[in-house]
Structures are given as structure tokens and as C-alpha cells.
């Protein structure tokens, strides 16, 4: 899944309606933990910190901004092995890092900067231009910034790799 923004190919899937208006932008991220993704999302205004006081106790949490939908994904690295009777002989191996599909919709994909550039375009162009080349799980190419990798999902061969 790739998309071209003003001549630069980015690792994203873009959905357009019948009039050519973009209605959804999807991309996949991988990081050592959810906290890494949250930190990156906070700096890019895809998540915000909320606070409230209840019974004199301050409670703080991080949440997605409207129209930024984060979908955690379990990644199977090696399937379980089974014998002729169907009994599992070897446990499956799951990725212990944090993978997430991010889907942007609605007003979020229509926000522009002072020069008329869509903010989601600037985010992806920054990642493509400044991200360090990496390989996630020794299989999938990506670009890492601040410990979070933007994954080239076009190189994922399994059905599991499809961004919903």
C-alpha cells in the first residue's frame, strides 16, 4: 500500500469517493510499546492528554483525537505446528512489539497548514524524508522516527498484513 504525494511515494493507503475526495487515510506503525506510539501521536496531534479531578484526585489519560482511530494488531511471526492428530506440538510465536493500524477520517484529513498542505500529507512526507530505514521483524521494511516505524505494508505478503 503506497500513495504518491506531490511526486513522493509514501507508505499509506488512501480511499477516495466517486468525486475524487479523500475519505480515509490508513497506515501501519510498529514500536517497542504502546507508550512509544502514544508519545509520537501526541507530538503530531493525533492523541491528546485529558485530565479530570474526581474526589480531589487528578486523573490523567491519553486518548485519540476525533477521527484518528488506532487499531492494535497482533502479529504472528511463526504459526503453531501440529502433528497428524491436530495436536499442537509447537506454540505459535507472536511479535512482542506493538503494531497498530492507524485510520484517519472526517475533519482530521481535511485539516491544512498555512500553506494549504494537508496535515496528514506533511506527517507522511516528514516520515518518508527523515525516517531511518529499518526492517520490522526481520521481514518488513519501514522508516523509524523516535522509535516508531512507519511500515511499508505493500511488502507484507500475508492476509494479516492488510490494513482494515
Q: Is 20 helix (H, G, I), strand (E, B) or coil?
A: coil
Residue-wise pLDDT for 64-104, tens only, equals 788 889 888 888 888 888 899 888 898 888 888 999 999 99
* b/e map 124-162, b = 16+ CB within 10 Å: beebbeebeeeebeeebbbbbbeebbbbbbebbeeeebe
Q: Are 156 and 37 in contact (CB under 8 A)?
A: no
**What local confidence, expressed as pLDDT, does residue 77 receive?**
80
Residue 163's pLDDT band (boundaries 50, 70, 90)? very low
DSSP string, 30-89: EESSHHHHHHHHHHTTSEEEEEEEETTEEEEEEEEPTTEEEEEE--EEE--EE-TTS-EE
Residue 158's pLDDT band (boundaries 50, 70, 90)? low
Q: Is 155 helix (H, G, I), strand (E, B) or coil?
A: helix
Q: Are 137 and 146 in contact (CB under 8 A)?
A: no
Residue 151's pLDDT band (boundaries 50, 70, 90)? very high
Global confidence as pTM: 0.81
Amino acid at each position: 500500500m503506497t500513495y504518491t504525494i506531490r511526486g513522493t511515494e509514501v507508505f499509506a493507503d488512501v480511499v477516495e469517493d466517486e468525486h475524487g475526495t479523500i475519505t480515509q487515510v490508513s497506515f501501519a506503525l510498529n514500536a517497542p510499546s504502546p507508550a512509544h506510539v502514544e508519545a509520537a501521536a501526541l507530538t503530531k496531534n493525533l492523541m491528546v492528554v485529558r485530565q479530570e479531578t474526581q474526589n480531589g484526585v487528578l486523573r490523567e489519560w491519553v486518548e485519540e483525537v476525533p477521527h484518528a482511530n488506532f487499531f492494535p494488531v497482533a502479529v504472528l511471526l511463526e504459526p503453531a505446528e501440529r502433528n497428524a492428530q491436530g495436536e499442537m506440538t509447537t506454540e505459535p510465536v507472536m511479535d512482542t512489539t506493538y503494531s497498530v493500524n492507524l485510520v484517519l477520517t472526517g475533519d482530521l484529513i481535511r485539516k491544512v497548514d498555512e500553506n494549504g498542505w494537508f496535515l496528514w500529507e506533511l506527517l507522511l512526507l516528514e516520515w518518508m524524508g527523515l525516517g531511518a530505514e529499518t526492517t520490522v521483524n526481520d521481514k518488513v521494511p519501514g522508516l523509524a522516527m523516535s522509535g516508531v516505524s512507519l511500515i511499508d505494508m505493500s511488502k507484507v505478503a500475508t492476509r494479516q498484513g492488510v490494513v482494515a
